[in-house]
Amino acid sequence: MPTRREVIKVSMIAAAAGVVESFALPLSVRAQPGQAPAATGPFTLPALAYAVDALEPHIDAQTMTIHHDRHHAAYVTNLNGAVAGKADLAGKSIEQLLSNLDALPSDIRTVVRNNGGGHLNHTMFWTSMKKGGGGAPTTELGAAIDGAFTSFGAFKDAMTRSAMGVFGSGWAWLVLDAGKLAVVALPNQDSPVMQGKVPLLGLDVWEHAYYLKYQNRRRDYVDAWFNCIDWDAIAARYRSAARA
């Protein structure tokens, strides 16, 4: 095993040489909560705001670790690779890139769609959950959900149906669509921003999000995930989107 100092030295040499590929870091220097890995481009993997086991037993620590440190990290690396050397794109936010995919050079459009979508979706996903989450939203968002779906239970059913209806890989979303709350399902890593909608809450139903613990029992994962939602965070997104 290389020492931490040797690994950092190799990383610095690789960065200096313009090498953008990431490589597996030894456990000793793996991202800890509150500590993001070094950036190799304009986009960075955000650190989790909680420990990888914080969402146990609903989402297990191993799934969280692999999902964040490998899957999300790979989206960031691939996205940075796509915009490398393109100064006009590197200065744009991920939302700006995704909301106008047609403006991108055709050779990177699909890479940005998949990996940029993956980066934005997962960044929102981690910050949509917290230890001891769940329950139901109150105040403005709770009232808006009651208004749009008739009740929180009906919203939950709609979100669950949407998540169960994704064939293959994708997400179920609570969005603001022209100012109205709606539930939509999108394939792969497509983001609601690609359709001009505002994503408020996304449920990742790629198998990598649940297979280690739940195998083929997607419904059990969906039910458990509702116990992790940080409704204060979703309500804050709703307030800022509704006022925009």
Q: Which is nearer to Mn ion, 114 or 177 (CB)?
A: 114
Residues in 208-237 at the binding interface with Mn ion, rule: CB under 5 A: 209
Instruction: State the Cα–Cα distance between residues 68 and 122, nearest whole angstrom.
Output: 8
Q: Which is nearer to Mn ion, 144 or 163 (CB)?
A: 163
Burial class (CB in 10 A: 0-12, 13-18, 19+), 32: exposed
Instruction: State the Cα–Cα distance between residues 49 and 237, nearest whole angstrom.
Output: 17
Residues in 167-206 at the binding interface with Mn ion, rule: CB under 5 A: 204, 206
When asked if residue 69 is in the footprint of Mn ion (CB under 5 A), the reply is no
The C-alpha angle with vertex 49 and arms to 47 and 53, in degrees rounded to 5, equals 100
Extract the runs of DSSP E, i.e. beta strands, from the chain: 170-177, 180-187, 198-204
Distance in Å, CB of 71 to Mn ion, minimum: 5
Distance in Å, CB of 14 to Mn ion, minimum: 26
Distance in Å, CB of 65 to Mn ion, minimum: 13
What letter would DSSP give residue 1? -
Please give the single-letter amino acid code of residue 8.
I
Give the CB-nearest residue to Mn ion: 204
How many residues bind to Mn ion according to rule CB under 5 A?
3
Distance in Å, CB of 166 to Mn ion, minimum: 12
Q: Which is nearer to Mn ion, 141 or 186 (CB)?
A: 186
38 - beta bridge partners?
none
Distance in Å, CB of 53 to Mn ion, minimum: 18
Q: Which is nearer to Mn ion, 74 or 242 (CB)?
A: 74
Q: At 50, phi and psi to the nearest 5?
A: -145, 165
Sign, CA torsion 117/123/125/128: negative
Q: Which is nearer to Mn ion, 204 or 230 (CB)?
A: 204
Interface with Mn ion by CB under 5 A: which residues?
Answer: 204, 206, 209
